[in-house]
Amino acid sequence: MQRCLDTFHAHKDIFIAHGAPAIRALGSPDGYNTESPERLHIDFAKAAYRASNRRDYVEQMAVWLQRRESMWIHEGYIQWLDNSLNQGETTGVLQDLDEDSVCVTPQLHTGAEPCNPGKSASLSLARSYRIAKNPAFADVSVETLGSAYQALDFTAALATFLRCCSGASHIAPNQYDRFDVYKQVIVTIPLSPLVDAHETTQRIRAQPASSGTGRKKGSPACFDTVLIVEDVAKFRSEGGLAGLRVAQVRVLFRLSPHLGMYPHPLAYVEWFTGLDNTPDPSSGLKTLRRSTRNSRRNVGNKVRLGHS
C-alpha cells in the first residue's frame, strides 16, 4: 500500500499537466461540480412535495416520482417506436405494444387446450375472475339464446365441447335445454408497479337489449370483445400477439347438471380473423373482420372461464 501511495505522489504532476488543458478544451469533467445535480434534486423535491397533501408526504413523493419515471419510460418507448416505424421496422414492434396495451383477458381459454381443467396447461399470465353467485337470468331457453343473444349455433358448439370434456354425460344438448346465464364476469389483471399499485380489474359483459318498464329506460345490447389464448405453446414461446385471437363474447352461462359436472362457467364466443395478417401500411394497425365457416359465423366450440 505504501509503495502504491509513493508511486501516486511521484507521478501526480501528470494530472496537473493534463488536467487544466483538458478542462479548458472540453469543460468541467462529470462530477467535478455538484451544483447541477444538487439543484435538480431540490427542484424534484419541491415539485413532489407540492403534489402531496402534506400528510405522509415522503410516501406520496416517492409515488409521484415513480409515476413521472413511468411517463418518461413510456415516452422513450414511443420515440423508439416512431423511429423504428420510420425505418420500416414494424415486425415485433407492434406485437410488444399490443401486448402491453390491450392483452387483458387471456383467461378465456380455447383452441387446442385439453378440456379437463386438472390437465390444462397453466399460463404465466393467468388471471382470476369474479362472477355473480346467482345468475342474472335462470332457465334461459336455447331459442332465447339464439334470438336475444344471437347465439345461433349454441347447441352445436356445446356438443362439440362436451365430446372432448371429461366429466360430461352421454346426453347431447338439444333445443329444449335451459341454462343459467350471467350478465358479466370481472377478470383480475396482475399488478404493475409502473401503472398502479392497486389491483385492477376488467369487466366483460354479455347482455342482450332490454326494453324499458315504466320510468326505467331500456338499455342496448352489449357484447364485449376479448383476446383469447388459442395456442398456449405459441403464446408462451413467442409472446406478443402470437397465439392470441380476438373473439366476441355472446353468452356467459353455467353448464346444466344433466349435461355433466364442470367447475367453471362457460362462454359462447364468435371468432374474428387471426392476428397474423400484415398491418395496414397507412395506420400500422392490424385489420380484423368476423370469421366465417360455410357462410356462417365461426363460433368457439370449447371456451372455458377460469384457472387451469
Query: Over the stretch 222-271, which tens digit does the pLDDT of each residue have?
Result: 999 998 888 888 888 887 788 888 999 999 999 998 888 888 899 999 99
Look at residue 115 and tell me whether its pLDDT is greater than 80: no
Residues in the chain, overall count: 308
The model's confidence at residue 106, banded by pLDDT at 50, 70 and 90, is very low
Mean pLDDT for the chain?
77
Look at residue 89 and tell me whether its pLDDT is greater than 90: no
Distance CA 70, CA 93 (A): 19
Look at residue 39 and tell me whether its pLDDT is greater than 80: no
pLDDT value of residue 285? 83
Mean pLDDT of 121-125: 40
Percent of the chain residues topping a pLDDT of 90: 22
The model's confidence at residue 303, banded by pLDDT at 50, 70 and 90, is low
pLDDT value of residue 101? 33
